[in-house]
Amino acid sequence: MKFSVAIATYNRLDLLRRAVESAMNQTIPCEVIVVDDGSSDGTQEYMQELCASAGEVIYYRHESNKGHAAAVNTGVQKASGDWIKFLDDDDYLAPNCLEEMTQAIALRPEAVICSCMAAQVDEYQVEISRTPITGSGKAFYIPQADIHYGMLLELVPFGTPVQVACRRDAFLQSGGWDSQLDANCDDIDSWIRIAQFGDAIFLNQCLAYRTVWSGAYNYKFAFAKRLHTNIFMKEKIYHRVNEQYRDQIPALEDIKQYLHLHWTIAAMKQKHIQSAFKLMIPAVFSIKAWQLLLSAAVLRRSPGKSLPISKIQLIE
């Protein structure tokens, strides 16, 4: 099994260096593919020099800016590995990330997608928070029939690109990333579709680092747009939930109202008070929405508990 690390970048040379080095310094060999989406900050010169001296580093350049999703799609199309590790240019990997994923995937060949814990760090690489442990054990898998149920209830989140790897053929079969979403849940939309083709693996190890800062792609979207896209993703997941779980999931309208509360709180935390007030009506009056919000909070604060999915299997 061979991994290709696909890095999309645009005018972030200083951050790109860190991302590329983290991919090149993996404890197992891998292919590193950097897709430059038309940068004008010296990225091209840096990558050309690097490619001249490094064997497994490949550079592709879009002459005009096509967007984040298009750059990711180019990286996967040009990759030679049978597994793709996604990596945004402002994030970076632990040295043993690919090795740990490889070992887990080898024990579950039916898997098409793999995710891990990540630390959220600031611009100075100081840890702010960490995604919680999910379930028990070092790693576990969930059969395809159970994945969308877990995604809907936020029991088995795949996370951001720095956490996720997928099988290249499943990515291509799913149609790749949607440029109409471009950096606003284009990754989650992809995970939803890839999960149609096989099992999921989750590693309870912190193997990735996500930078939380004002220059992140998703910060350019208004809270209302992020909410509406989040609702769109939940609708997609809802209709893919296996029939055996239909009587165990909340009504779609209650989920939508819960998301209104979730983004209201997110807006308030970032002191966008006016946006928060617009998002909270009428969800603030929904008892079901508050119950879902409380359940989600309890889940996040109770790492290590077994997931309520009957077929979850530990990977020894």
The predicted-structure confidence for 33-85, as pLDDT tens digits, reads as follows: 999 999 999 999 999 999 998 878 999 999 999 999 999 999 999 999 999 99
Q: What pLDDT was estimated at residue 62?
A: 97
Cβ neighbours around 167 below 10 Å, total: 21
Given 185, 218, 251, which residue is the final one in a domain? Answer: 218
In a domain, 96, yes or no: yes
Given 218, 236, 268, which residue is the final one in a domain? Answer: 218
Q: What pLDDT was estimated at residue 238?
A: 97
CA dihedral 279, 210, 168, 73 (to 10 degrees): 60
Q: What pLDDT was estimated at residue 303?
A: 47
Q: What's the number of domains the chain is made of? A: 2
Q: What pLDDT was estimated at residue 70?
A: 97
Q: Which residue has the tokens 């579709």?
A: 193
CA distance linking residue 305 with residue 299, whole number of Å: 9
Q: What pLDDT was estimated at residue 24?
A: 97
Q: What pLDDT was estimated at residue 299?
A: 67
CA dihedral 125, 202, 28, 4 (to 10 degrees): -90
Q: Which residue has the tokens 């999931």?
A: 249
| Nearest-5° Cα angle at 212, 254 to 84 | 85
**What are the Cα distances from residue 35, in Å, to 3, 38, 80?**
16, 9, 14
| Nearest-5° Cα angle at 179, 93 to 265 | 65
Q: Which residue has the tokens 């350019």?
A: 220
Q: What share of the chain is helix, strand, coil (3-state, %, to 5)?
A: 45, 20, 35
Rounded to two decimals, the pTM is 0.91
In a domain, 314, yes or no: no
Residues of the chain with pLDDT under 70: 215, 217-219, 299-316
Given 183, 218, 253, which residue is the final one in a domain? Answer: 218
In a domain, 308, yes or no: no
